[in-house]
Structure 1
Amino acid sequence: MWLLRLKPHLSVSIWTLVLLGNAWLPLSEGTPKSSSPFRTFQVTDWSLTHLVVHNKTGEVYVGAINRIYKLASNLTLMRTHVTGPVDDNEKCYPPPSVQSCPHGLVSTNNVNKLLLVDYSGNRLIACGSASQGICQFLRLDDLFKLGEPHHRKEHYLSSVNESGTMSGVIIEVQNGQNKLFIGTPIDGKSEYFPTLSSRKLMDSEENAEMFGFVYQDEFVSSQLKIPSDTLSKFPTFDIYYIYSFSSEQFVYYLTLQLDTQLTSPDSTGEQFFTSKVVRLCVDDPKFYSYVEFPIGCVRDGTEYRLIQDAYLSKPGKALARQLGISEDEDILFTVFSQGQKNRVKPPKESVLCLFTLKKIKDKIKERIQSCYRGEGKLSLPWLLNKELGCINSPLQIDDNFCGQDFNQPLGGTVPIEGMPLFVDKEDGMTSVAAYDYRGHTVVFAGTRSGKIKKVSASGIMAMDLLGSFIFCWYMCLPLLHKTDTFSTKLSLRMMALLFQQEPKNSDNCA
């Protein structure tokens, strides 16, 4: 699955999907345009926010403001589903469709914040910002609306309308209950929304248990809320979920949040942010396995702590040999901006980094083992609001340990550092994708200025997207016209997908 998220500070009037292939048919809302060396899908009315590609059919689903689009693998428009605008007011809880609201309703855009393919249910999950963040289930074939659960508080995920800050992972359970892990900012509304939760994914869209917590009793449930004490001290505290994935028996999130250790509670002071890797066991309904670690990269003494994007991949044969790992192991490519300030408009200086999942797992295991020896504290100030000491226990902690009702939740204190591959001091990298071609790992990073940078073992080649010239690295593909950073990012993911095609003319390279 290929997922694109729009960064919140980007704003353009024309949005373009560009497929880098050998055909020459551009499309705009399904209407052909003049001849061009790309296939494109272009919209002028609504900003695009997310993209997923079906892993078997190659069909493309695009989330936008007020729209969901289905495209063929060549970007021909097949279906359009309208999600907004709707008459709404973010102060209305429950939403006005459920209960009459004393606040005035206005026509409100519905920003698509989450787009996932539920393969076992043959449906698309599209969650928006309107009506307190309810989701629609759409049939994959024709985007027919199968259901829109909105009557229970569990159906409201978050009213935050900033795209690229919510992330989800579907876990399919053989002969069991499928789950949906959701991470989202809450804009201070902890009484309404958990920031992290595990939800039931029912077969029927009308089932009353849809999106109910996987586990809930009087004291414990499958959710994590930002404490009111934290919000009282730091009113702007929130957690932004930049990327998520599952690996083996764990779910991981890469997040960006206010650093409460560096930021003064005084609202007039400077704000600092920190990036975290969050891990949960898939089969831990009580969230006893919750662990988070600061994560980042350092190059030549400069710290890069603001996560922009990430991409889970496998190493090619050459890279696996260099890293000393198996080709079957997971690796993580990441992009960080320099420093810890300015989340919305981060510094242009950025770094492309590599993590092995083995290193992340080993660091987490070492931290858990240390805590179960009674060493140190839980070190999770934003969640616990006090320092609690670790409790000594004879339990043996292995790679698959999923927590107990003590020594949790647990935070790391020393950042897990990635391997810096390339520093960009001018363009500001915002996205990353990777692909293994004949044993070689190719990494592409999109920038704010509309460039794609290719990083390989032999170095870097930057390609300005102002023209339609051809570049070659194991194969030839035409470059797209420069339109905006978003199309670069979206095309970046399409590039990674389409690089699996063999080149037709590998000698025609410039």
Structure 2
Amino acid sequence: VIDPSTGRLYVGGVNSLYDLNHPDLSVKVHTSTGPEEDSVECPNKASCLSSNVRRKTENSYTKGLAVYERSSKLIECTSLFQGRCRWRNLYNIDQKDVIKESQQHVVANDENSSTVIFVGTFTSQDNIQITLGDVLYVASTFVQNGGPFRDDVPAVASLSLDQNRLFDISAQGVGTGTEIKLERKFRGTYKIEYVGGFQSGKFAYFVTRQPKGDTTQGSWPYISKMVRVCTSDAHFWSYTEVPFECAHRNEFYNLVQDVYLSKPGYDLALSLGISVEDDVLYGVFVKGSSLEETIPSSKSAICVYSMAMVEKIFLSNIELCFRGETNKNLPWFKSTDRCIKTRYLGQEVLCGKDVNSHIGGEIPVEGSAALITHDAQFTSIATNTTRAYTVAFIGTHDGRLFKTVIENRSSAFVYRSLEIGDGKPILQDLELDATGDYVYALTPKKVVKVRVRQCGGAGDCRSCLAQRDPYCGWCVLNNACVPESECTKSIPSTAHDWLTYRNGRCPAIRSVEPDKVQRTSASYLNIELENLPNLGGQLTCVFNFGTLGSLSTLAQPNGGLDSRIRCPTPNGLPEIPLDTHSLTIRLAVSNSIEGPPLAYTNFTFYDCSRFKLCSAC
């Protein structure tokens, strides 16, 4: 995770927690989190140390990290001692007297079971929406062999971040509270894998992979779902699940791998019918190698969802239940009854009622894939915007990072692929720094810092625009491929100063007259240019003979128009090779002899004296 106020990067691993300096990823502070003597038979660390329970050395696996800015704390959850969370001083993670740990077990207590945490809000349920405090939203997979105390661990909960009630269930009543637990008979067969979580508006969301139906009655295909609770619901009556789909031409990518909530660029917002200030959810999915498994294939897709559309789908599912037209469909949370018809509608039911609580909706949140591939397993995603563009950074299972432009809700393309993971998976935790200049990627063994803008590889306008990199464009005055912020523009500036792949047309040579000349005859070439702004300086014609070198002459105005120049052919032309009678070279127009050309074309020098016979001539 990244502290947005300082840019510092915190990385949790096995038995270790690091605070890294963001410029060079050097270690600022390191603290050990394990290993420890532990047992699944111990309810907590103190009882483990004082009891006769047989213990063994166990690693501490970091299950979740979150920055709590309001109190300058880093929240860290690990697998030891039944799965607990603690907070640390954000500016000194090794400061022992600040560390406070949860008294309850709240996350998965093994290496591989999923846990998702994020800091959100908990508000009162009146029209004033008074904020009662910040909370930690937590979701974790039930660990089947995790010992006798796993029954106490909620599937989804919100925990208080008040210092006096730290990590307690944020609201607790008689038989209700801000938690929901997996029904006992499903704990051995029904596995919910939590993939991501976030808050949007007045709702907290989790994204999952889970069986489609009642696993006590047989096997079911795995699907993706969105889970939602209202942040003002002190009972979690508003807990609702709906299917979460991503498809392309009736092929469903059923396993969500990662999600990322952020804003859209102008072009994407326009296609979604929203503004650039609205929330958009980006998801990467894979097609399962078999329906009953969560083993991914190499068929992957990215889908885009406006949160306004997501809210409408949730409301439709909830209203269907409150009209008494469906069942509640959540047997794994002991909610299977027929929905009761009520007079509640619209905004009245958004945050739940004691009637029709815990709803399993059947109307899906549908997405049409903007990008698909059959040779890469997507693992992670983060997005950013630049000008009108939406840019996605997608990690893969074999260590690649795809830089991608999402043009609209159903179209995207990869403009660059980088090998950064040494063949190892790029893990879910892709993060952009606060400036948007760098993306941080995590693999099982290392953290990689990747510059977002990489414009330096193109030597001319055509190759610059051919990259289709939304961060880069051809700066005509500088004669270089650079970000717009580094481009010198004319005064007043024009659309031709900095050219992009979408709306830019490179300076070009429209015509050269004559288009070929006798090598031994001095001649003037009349050159007509297009898409060339007024550079206000001397232009040069450069005659490039490849391995034979180059010669240049100064251009002169021709006819009083900036788009027309005339150049003399140079003296000292190299000899035409003996086995031919002409030489085709590259003729370029440049504003400097050494720099890259503004525009170029082919030009031919010929030698009639090479023909010795009348018939050949």
TM over 0.5: yes
Which letter does structure 2 place at the counterpart of 1:147? I
Q: What pairs with 1:304-383 in structure 2 (closer than 5 Å)?
A: 304-339=253-288, 341=291, 345-383=295-333
Alignment of 1:105-144 (within 5 A): 105-143=55-93, 144=95
Q: How does 1:429-444 map to 2 (within 5 A)?
A: 429-444=378-393
1:120-178 residue CA offsets vs partner (Å, 9 max, x unmatched) = 1111011100011122221111112312325x4x3543313226533333327777332
Q: Which amino acid aligns with 2:353?
A: Q
**Is the contact between residue 372 and residue 407 of structure 1 (CA under 8 Å) also seen in structure 2?**
yes
| 2:160 alignment partner, one of 182, 188, 200 | 200
**Within 5 A, what are the aligned runs for 1:83-482?**
83-97=33-47, 100-143=50-93, 144-145=95-96, 146-150=98-102, 152=103, 154-162=104-112, 164-171=114-121, 176-188=132-144, 190-203=150-163, 207=164, 209-231=165-187, 235-261=188-214, 263=215, 265=217, 272-339=221-288, 341=291, 345-384=295-334, 387-398=336-347, 401-456=350-405, 457=407, 459-461=412-414, 463-466=416-419, 480=420, 482=422
- Partners of 2:220 and 2:141 lie apart in 1 by 17
Kindly indicate whether structure 1 or structure 2 has the higher relative contact order, using CA contacts under 8 Å at least 6 residues apart. Answer: 1
TM-score (norm. length: structure 2): 0.65
Residue aligning to 1:484: 424
SS state at 1:382 partner: helix
Q: CA deviation at 1:492?
A: 6.5
- Whether contact under 8 Å (2:266, 2:388) holds in the other structure is yes
Task: Please say if residues 221 and 291 of structure 2, whose CA atoms lie closer than 8 Å, have aligned partners that are also in contact.
Answer: yes
CA contact (8 A) 1:450 1:464 kept: no
Q: Is the 8 A contact 1:355 1:419 kept in 2?
A: no
User: Could you say what the CA RMSD is over the residues aligned between the two structures, in angstroms?
Assistant: 2.7
Deviates more, 1:126-135 or 1:334-343: 334-343
Distance in 2 between residues matched to 1:163 and 1:140, nearest whole Å: 27
Give unmatched runs, 5+ long, in structure 2. Answer: 124-129, 440-450, 459-463, 468-617
Please list the CA deviations of residues 383-426 of structure 1 after superposition, one character each: whole Å capped at 9, or x if unmatched: 126x3111122223128821110011111113221121111111
Q: Rate the CA distance shift 1:172–1:414 in 2: closer, same or farther, 3 A.
A: closer
1:103 deviation in Å? 3.3
Q: Distance in 1 between matches of 2:426 and 2:454?
A: 28
TM-score normalized with structure 1 length: 0.78
* CA 372–260 in structure 1, closer or farther in 2 if over 3 Å, else same: closer
Q: Is the 8 A contact 1:222 1:286 kept in 2?
A: yes
How many residue pairs match? The answer is 431
- For the pair shown, the structure with the greater C-alpha radius of gyration is 2
Partner residue of 1:22?
none
Report the residue type matching 1:117 in the other structure: V
Query: Partners in 2 of 1:331 and 1:410 — Cα distance?
Result: 24
CA distance in 2, matches of 1:175, 1:250: 14
Structure 2 distance, partners of 1:444, 1:438, is 17
CA contact (8 A) 1:182 1:198 kept: yes
Partner of 1:49: none
Letter in 2 for 1:121: S
Matched residue, 1:20: none
- 3-state SS of paired residue (1:159): coil
Q: Give 1:463 deviation, angstroms.
A: 4.2
Cα pair 1:350 1:428 within 8 Å, conserved: yes
SS in 1 for 2:426: helix
Please state whether the residue corresponding to 1:276 is helix, strand or coil: strand
The percentage of aligned residue pairs carrying the same residue is: 28
